Structure 1
């Protein structure tokens, strides 16, 4: 059997964003981990419009090509890691919109969270997204990467250079995702 596909979804879409550096670091780290085939999905590049489908996502009767393409992308994945900043004590609208576009494509797949921010390390964003993931029948794993004062880890070239604690958290999260992904895949196969 082939390795499961892990999609790392970078949530920040604004001009001048720094979170893409965090997502690229995690992509490289996940590739070195070796438990997954890794894809980076940048919501800024996906460019979804504000949800405008006439039918409820659970019906999978999409009329817009952007939604059909998004459905195909998410359907490919066996697991996710959401890389999210914290905006106003929550996660960005771009991520909520991306989640709301689909339904069944998310179901029975595990999700890890990499959050970043100032003193809060993006923990309020991580807390806010978990009920949304659960409502979409995803399994948020407990292990996470929470990055406080994330700008301190950016190099002059805007590369993300984590410390050993962040790398340890990333490894623990990837190990847990690798552990639960096959079990959830069997649930999807049975359905």
Structure 2
């Protein structure tokens, strides 16, 4: 990637619950990210990716993947210059589906610029904190800035348990998301220059 090439940012939807607001939030985040002309946005929904519990015979650090689903997942992350993880907070933690997806890979995450966008009753702060520890261990480049979107169960959710107005909920953080994406792009470009 050069400064004239678009930065490929992969947005990962972490929650795989049958009823979830992750896709709604991610859709609005993608719209905001897409306003940056330096960015090409791609979305991976872990529910659609449908990774089984880690089933590779060797540890991921060796990179000797035998399953096509692992090779596909590895290829998606390798092809991404940066990643935005959109995650729920469940019981003060992040979804098992996300931990499983992270643990499938190792070197693919190394130095990868990552922005955490968390949501929940308190904005998902506990989930983001735990993710920082895990991603730090595998030496991902997690931005210091993170986006935390608080959700009010009495106001933000409809009877279908989906968000009444995801655009308003996420839009309240648009300025912060835009600034964070600028940092993410700069980190990705710096990473590309280091490789050159």
Q: Which TM-score applies when normalising by structure 1?
A: 0.91
Please give the alpha-carbon distance, in whole angstroms, between the structure 2 residues aligned to 1:167 and 1:150.
18
SS at 2:175 equivalent: helix
Segments of 5+ residues of structure 2 without an aligned counterpart are none
The whole-number CA distance in structure 1 between the counterparts of 2:10 and 2:65 is: 22
What is the 5 A alignment of 1:38-187? 38-118=41-121, 120-149=122-151, 152-153=155-156, 158=163, 160-162=166-168, 165-187=172-194
* C-alpha displacement of 1:165: 3.9
Query: What stretches of structure 1 of length at least 5 have no aligned partner?
Result: none
SS at match of 1:184: helix
What is the count of residue pairs matched by the alignment? 188
Separation in 2, partners of 1:67, 1:20: 23
Distance, in Å, in 2 between the alignment partners of 1:75 and 1:150 is: 36
- CA distance 1:34–1:150, change in 2 (3 Å): farther
Q: Which residue matches 1:18? A: 21
Give a deviation string over 1:55-76, Cα, whole Å, max 9, x none. Answer: 1111111111110111111111
Q: CA deviation at 1:150?
A: 5.5
CA RMSD in angstroms comes to 1.9
CA displacement at 1:138 relative to structure 2: 0.9
In structure 2, C-alpha distance between the alignment counterparts of 1:19 and 1:84, rounded to whole Å: 7
Give, in angstroms, the shift of residue 154 of structure 1: 6.1
The SS at the match of 1:111 is strand
**TM-score (norm. length: structure 2):** 0.89
